[in-house]
Amino acid sequence: MAKQRTGTATRIAVPLRALAQRFAFFLLVLSAFALMLLGKAETVVIERVRGGIVDVVSPLMHVAAEPLAAVSRGIETLHDLFSLREENTRLREQNARLLEWQTIALRLTHENAHYRTLLEFVPDPNATAITARIFADSSGVFVHSMLINAGSRDGVGRGQAVVTGAGLAGRITTVGERSARVLLVTDLNSRIPVLVESSRDNGILAGDNTRDPRLVFLPQNSVVAPGDRIVTSGQGGVFPPGIPIGVVGSVGEGVIRVRPLVDLDRIETVRVINYPGIEGVLPAERAAPARKRP
């Protein structure tokens, strides 16, 4: 009798368990899709939670990254020691060249300032910068981004430009209190208003997860040749105008690729630029529509 009852129980329990498992699976898959859609809409709560979680684990990642950084520093020191003499000669030559440039730049700055006073030119608002270290290359196959060790308490905000000495690396997307995520210019979701430095044609630099982002939405009659420099246009008031991004690498059939100036594989520290943008010049009510831009 008892045996029979156990048998019945198992007969009911086993399919029930299978059913529950299948139900749990569908429920989790549904929630995964729901989260993806919510994230696509850039919900504030989700962004805040993301920033918060990264804040919590960032000390752990700092600790883990330290030995690796020490090893790579050691290798670099050895490498530097071997090439000391060549490097010295190269730098001397470069220094001489740069001194010449400095003279020219100083003369042009004065000249420019003079013309600006003559024309009563409205100056660009002053940008301030925060220097931060990259503590995680959280990039994978489908996303190109990095985490930096500065957040909202240091004045980092969403949309700010992230640069290195060479040029623009990306922009801030998610901000935590102590950390922030940099979306690199090569990422699929990166769109930056740019212009071709020589012809002043406006366009958009669109990342597509390859090494060289594409230059799109140029005026129809514009002529672009390999070697042309691409800089930020400052349209939208988020980025300061004139930050170099890259040079045109190849002009194919309808596809113009831009090689970024920043070596995205080897960035260690970056500067986050806080640009007051259009709000700094215009009264608040006129600046309001511009602020809506992402």
Partner 1 sequence: MIVEFLQRLDRTARNCTPIALCVTLVLMSTLPLGLPGYWRIAPNLVLVVVFYWAIFRPDLLPLSVAFGIGLFQDVLAGTPLGLHALILVTVHHVVSNQQRFFIGKSFLVVWWAFTMIAAGAAALMWLVTMGLAFTFVDPLPAVFQFFLTLGACPVLVWFFARLHQYILR
* Side-chain half-sphere CA neighbours of 155 within 13 A: 13
Site string for partner 1, 213-252 (x = CB under 8 A): ----------------------------------------
- The verdict on 79 binding partner 1 (CB under 8 A) reads no
Both tokens of residue 105? 């730049």
Site string for partner 1, 5-34 (x = CB under 8 A): ----------------x--xx--xx-xxxx
Q: Strand (E) positions, 28-143?
A: 128-136
Neighbour-count burial for 182-216, b at 16+ CB within 10 Å, e otherwise: bbbbbbeebbbbbbbeeeebebbbbbbbeebbbbe
Minimal distance, residue 181 CB to partner 1, in Å: 6
Site string for partner 1, 39-78 (x = CB under 8 A): xx-----x--xx--xx--x--xx--xx--xx--x------
Contact 201, 195 (CB under 8 A): yes
In 3D space, the residue among 288, 50, 22, 49 whose CA is nearest the CA of residue 183 turns out to be 50
Minimal distance, residue 86 CB to partner 1, in Å: 22
Q: Residues 134, 215, 238, 256: which binds partner 1 (CB under 8 A)?
A: 134
How distant, in Å, are the alpha carbons of 1, 7, 9, 16, 17 from that of 4? 5, 5, 9, 18, 20
Which positions lie near partner 1, rule CB under 8 A? Answer: 21, 24-25, 28-29, 31-36, 38-40, 46, 49-50, 53-54, 57, 60-61, 64-65, 68-69, 72, 134-147, 173-174, 181, 183, 188-189, 208-210, 265-266, 268
